[in-house]
């Protein structure tokens, strides 16, 4: 009997040790992180800023692009479906959220039809983000020739990567037409943000040389997931100028530069001289980001931030976010909560010149844990148009009052600050 208990105790100890080890692996941050504030050395229009963004951080700035802003599902999904249905050679598609529903079925049907027509279709779905997708939908796509892979599906030999997800939203058709932004494939994104059941979001349709960088970012994770390299002219054709916008596709990953997206945001904020407009679906800034925003406000930059209000899919994020607003509000930064529905936009505009948009949230999960991709556009006209979008959203948001924030109920404060301790995982 004594020996049986000893074996049982040993089994429990081994299981507990394994569980704690996996937890530690998933919570650990492997690479060194930025720990000091960045000095303001130049503005976003300064050639040195562009050199820093295009050389220090890796991706070059491509001239000659055409970029179209798409607002909400009523404009986003028809444009994506039209692009897919027009494909002649290749489709590559990577996304975090893919659930079953009206748009999930419509997109799957369009991908299936193109695969049956001989187009090579490659789909990379994050495992965690697509667990709510019907298996029948996946099976039908695979049967009809769509190559579908699940990113970081749990397996015994890499359980330590379970916490690292691909959050990228990328669609590339024939290597010539790209889409990126905040939208996921679920019915919450349908419609025109007309009520709390239909979300507010932004997506972008892109033509021109920068699309080749969209494809390169997709290939980064496709190779990690499959070990297969797609490299012919059908994926990387010669791309002529399609417009006049300079742009770069910026990516980050825990396995290859987890700090780069964080650093890109910090550099842009440090370069701001006039204004920072931030639309953020999940706004949980770390201490360094708070410092950067406060420093900007104290040197005279007007900082305005729109976040979700009561309609949010992750209430823990809202609580953790609100716990961190004190120094921002005290510095004169204006924070607004969007009222009509879930606000899922991810757009930053600096000095009416730089627009950065894509999958990245303003939180530690995006900056250090997820694979992310952002499109940076350097143009006053495009930034002016997007500023108009921001101002329209502002009309449907309520400004947070510092005095009211300070005097919110003690129980609410306690819950928010307790939740904020989980900020590294939010």
How confident is the model over 68-85, as pLDDT tens digits? 999 999 999 999 999 999
Cα–Cα distance list, 116 to 85, 150, 234 (Å) = 12, 21, 17
Active site (annotated) includes residue 262? no
Are residue 330 and residue 375 in the same domain, yes or no?
A: yes
Tens-place pLDDT, residues 106-136: 999 999 999 999 999 999 999 999 999 988 9
Are residue 86 and residue 112 in the same domain, yes or no?
A: yes
Q: Could you give the CA distance from residue 136 to residue 339 in angstroms, rounded to a whole number?
A: 37
Does residue 194 fall inside a structural domain? yes
Mention every residue, 6+ apart, whose C-beta is less than 8 A from residue 422.
Answer: 316, 320
Mention every residue, 6+ apart, whose C-beta is less than 8 A from residue 264.
Answer: 53, 57, 250, 356, 374, 376
Q: Is 118 left (phi over 0), alpha (psi -120 to 50) or beta?
A: left
Are residue 81 and residue 108 in the same domain, yes or no?
A: yes
Last residue of a domain, one of 243, 271, 301: 243
* Coil vs helix vs strand at 270: helix
Does residue 8 fall inside a structural domain? no
Q: Is 229 left (phi over 0), alpha (psi -120 to 50) or beta?
A: beta
Q: Could you give the CA distance from residue 46 to residue 385 in angstroms, rounded to a whole number?
A: 21
Which band of pLDDT confidence, cut at 50, 70 and 90, is reported for residue 257? low
Cα–Cα distance list, 153 to 60, 134, 283 (Å) = 32, 16, 27
Last residue of a domain, one of 226, 243, 260: 243
Q: How many domains does the chain have?
A: 2
Return the pLDDT at 14: 46
Return the pLDDT at 306: 98
Tens-place pLDDT, residues 7-28: 554 455 545 554 544 444 444 5
Q: Enter the DSSP assignment of 304.
A: E
Tens-place pLDDT, residues 332-391: 999 999 999 999 999 999 999 999 999 999 888 888 888 999 999 999 999 999 999 999
Does residue 12 fall inside a structural domain? no
Active site (annotated) includes residue 174? yes
Bridge partners (DSSP) listed for residue 373: 251
Tens-place pLDDT, residues 388-419: 999 999 999 999 999 999 999 999 999 998 98
Q: Other C-beta atoms within 10 Å of 1: how many?
A: 5
* Coil vs helix vs strand at 199: coil
Q: For helices 260-271 and 287-298, what crossing angle results, to 10°?
A: 10
First CA to last CA distance, the chain: 47
Return the pLDDT at 7: 52
| The one catalytic residue among 167, 198, 213, 224 | 167
Return the pLDDT at 252: 84
Question: CA triplet 370, 375, 381: central angle to 5 degrees?
Answer: 150
Return the pLDDT at 157: 53
Bridge partners (DSSP) listed for residue 306: 279, 336
Which CATH number goes with the domain that contains 88?
Answer: 3.30.870.10
Return the pLDDT at 161: 58
Return the pLDDT at 253: 79
Q: Are 245 and 67 in contact (CB under 8 A)?
A: yes
Tens-place pLDDT, residues 145-165: 999 999 877 665 555 556 678
Are residue 104 and residue 152 in the same domain, yes or no?
A: yes
Does residue 271 fall inside a structural domain? yes
Q: Could you give the CA distance from residue 400 to residue 336 in angstroms, rounded to a whole number?
A: 6
Are residue 307 and residue 278 in the same domain, yes or no?
A: yes
* Coil vs helix vs strand at 247: strand
Does residue 27 fall inside a structural domain? no
| The one catalytic residue among 122, 126, 152, 169 | 169
- For residue 331, report the phi and psi dihedrals to the nearest 5 degrees: -80, 0
pLDDT exceeds 70 at position 227: yes
Q: Are 91 and 119 in contact (CB under 8 A)?
A: yes
Q: Are 96 and 167 in contact (CB under 8 A)?
A: yes
Return the pLDDT at 366: 84
Of 25-34, 138-147, 279-288, the least confident: 25-34
Which band of pLDDT confidence, cut at 50, 70 and 90, is reported for residue 260? confident
Return the pLDDT at 23: 47
Return the pLDDT at 228: 93
Are residue 288 and residue 209 in the same domain, yes or no?
A: no
Are residue 300 and residue 416 in the same domain, yes or no?
A: yes
Q: Among candidates 395, 426, 367, which has minimal Cα distance to 193?
A: 395
Does residue 4 fall inside a structural domain? no
Which band of pLDDT confidence, cut at 50, 70 and 90, is reported for residue 420? confident
For 211, the domain range is 66-243
Are residue 304 and residue 322 in the same domain, yes or no?
A: yes
Q: Could you give the CA distance from residue 302 to residue 77 in angstroms, rounded to a whole number?
A: 34
Last residue of a domain, one of 243, 260, 283: 243
Return the pLDDT at 3: 46
Which band of pLDDT confidence, cut at 50, 70 and 90, is reported for residue 2? very low
| The one catalytic residue among 174, 201, 286, 393 | 174
Active site (annotated) includes residue 122? no
Return the pLDDT at 37: 81
Does residue 76 fall inside a structural domain? yes
Are residue 418 and residue 276 in the same domain, yes or no?
A: yes
pLDDT exceeds 90 at position 311: yes
Q: Could you give the CA distance from residue 60 to residue 417 in angstroms, rounded to a whole number?
A: 40
Are residue 48 and residue 73 in the same domain, yes or no?
A: no
| The one catalytic residue among 198, 344, 371, 379 | 344
Q: Are 191 and 198 in contact (CB under 8 A)?
A: yes
Are residue 226 and residue 183 in the same domain, yes or no?
A: yes
Does residue 1 fall inside a structural domain? no
More confident residue, 413 or 259: 413
Q: Other C-beta atoms within 10 Å of 163: how many?
A: 19
Mention every residue, 6+ apart, whose C-beta is less than 8 A from residue 332.
Answer: 297, 303
Locate 350 and state its tokens. Answer: 């600096």
Task: Find the length of the chain.
Answer: 426
Are residue 139 and residue 46 in the same domain, yes or no?
A: no
């Amino acid at each position: 009997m004594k020996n049986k208990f000893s074996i049982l105790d040993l089994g429990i100890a081994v299981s507990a040790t394994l569980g704690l080890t996996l937890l530690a692996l998933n919570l650990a941050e492997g690479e060194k992180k930025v720990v000091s504030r960045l000095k303001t050395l130049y503005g976003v229009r300064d050639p040195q800023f562009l050199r820093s963004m295009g050389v220090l951080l890796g991706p070059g700035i491509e001239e000659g692009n055409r970029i179209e802003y798409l607002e909400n599902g009523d404009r986003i999904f028809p444009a994506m479906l039209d692009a897919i249905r027009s494909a002649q050679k290749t489709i590559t598609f990577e996304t975090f959220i893919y659930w079953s529903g009206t748009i999930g079925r419509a997109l799957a049907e369009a991908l299936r039809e193109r695969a049956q027509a001989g187009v090579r279709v490659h789909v990379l779905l994050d495992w965690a983000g697509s667990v709510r997708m019907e298996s029948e939908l996946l099976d039908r796509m695979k049967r009809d020739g769509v190559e579908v892979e699940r990113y970081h599906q749990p397996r015994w030999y890499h359980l330590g990567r379970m916490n690292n997800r691909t959050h990228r939203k990328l669609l590339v058709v024939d290597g010539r037409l790209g889409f990126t932004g905040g939208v996921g494939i679920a019915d919450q994104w349908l419609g025109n943000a007309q009520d709390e059941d239909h979300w507010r979001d932004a997506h972008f349709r892109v033509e021109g040389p920068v699309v080749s960088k969209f494809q390169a970012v997709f290939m980064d994770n496709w190779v990690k997931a499959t070990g297969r390299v797609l490299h012919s002219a059908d994926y990387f054709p010669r791309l002529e100028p399609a417009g006049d916008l300079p742009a770069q596709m910026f990516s980050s990953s825990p396995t290859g530069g987890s700090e780069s997206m964080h650093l890109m945001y910090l550099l842009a904020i440090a370069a701001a001289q006039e204004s920072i407009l931030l639309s953020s679906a999940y706004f949980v800034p770390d201490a360094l980001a708070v410092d950067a925003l406060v420093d900007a406000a104290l040197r005279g930059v007007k900082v305005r931030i729109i976040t979700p209000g009561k309609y949010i899919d992750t209430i823990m994020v809202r609580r953790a976010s609100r716990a961190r607003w004190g120094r921002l509000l005290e510095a004169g930064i204006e924070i607004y909560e969007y009222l009509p529905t879930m606000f899922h936009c991810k757009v930053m505009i600096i000095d009416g010149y730089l627009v950065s948009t894509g999958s990245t949230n303003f939180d530690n999960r995006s900056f250090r844990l997820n694979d992310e991709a952002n499109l940076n556009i350097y143009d006053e006209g495009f930034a002016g148009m997007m500023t108009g979008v921001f101002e329209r959203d502002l009309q449907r948001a309520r400004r947070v009052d510092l005095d009211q924030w300070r005097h919110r109920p003690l129980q609410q404060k306690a819950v928010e600050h307790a939740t904020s301790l989980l900020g590294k995982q939010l």
